[in-house]
A and B are shown apart, each in its own frame.
Chain A
């Protein structure tokens, strides 16, 4: 079984400020972790993913996330927010074995608002 909890359904930052979106996961097998972004009236697109290896993962548009097994966390960060970052962000987990390969479990989503 696997699950994802995103802390905070809405996050608001000023342009140029640090972006921090929190994600904690639960998985009975080694997890594979993902961040997806959804712009208004569009489908989701992949920002970054962690499967194995380096725990600090870099993605598109300057985002990065760090896998911390001891904290069961995979928080998303960006040093300096841009207006174009305003969107909804989803953390997701996939299992690494058996039938869990095909099942991606999403968190509830965090809406990021960026103020000028």
Chain B
């Protein structure tokens, strides 16, 4: 099992550019989520999904889109990058569709994004 795989590991964007952060898991987990990590602020939930075709907003969803067409994949799209989106992004999944309450989150190794 590869677990949770995030690509790319590093990315530099110019303001206004768009891109997609990829996340794939091979554990047949129902729940998937995206967090951003900023110094002194911990991790903040961007979007999450409790199954294919179902997504919901987290704490900081503005500027980001997600979709869940398969169980395995949960891409995060930045529509028009801004310097405030410079951060480390983590994808995380868990087995149960009730998410981290019921089963532990498995994290990817992160994508470090810089927007200039």
Contact = CB atoms under 8 A, between A and B. Distances in A.
Contacts of B105: 36, 44, 46, 104
Contact of B4 (A43, A90, A92, A103): A43
Contact of B40 (A9, A32, A44): A9
Interface of B: 4, 31, 33, 35, 40-45, 48, 50, 56, 58-59, 90, 92, 98-102, 104-110
Contact of B107 (A41, A44, A108): A44
Contacts of A106: 35, 42-44
A96 interface: yes
A82 interface: no
Contacts of A108: 40-42
Contact of B102 (A45, A101, A107): A101
Contact-residue bracket for chain A: 20 to 34
12 contacts: A6-B42, A34-B100, A51-B101, A94-B100, A96-B101, A99-B56, A101-B99, A101-B102, A102-B33, A102-B50, A103-B45, A108-B41
A43 B42 contact: no
A105 B59 contact: yes
B60 to A, nearest CB: 12
A90 B33 CA distance: 17
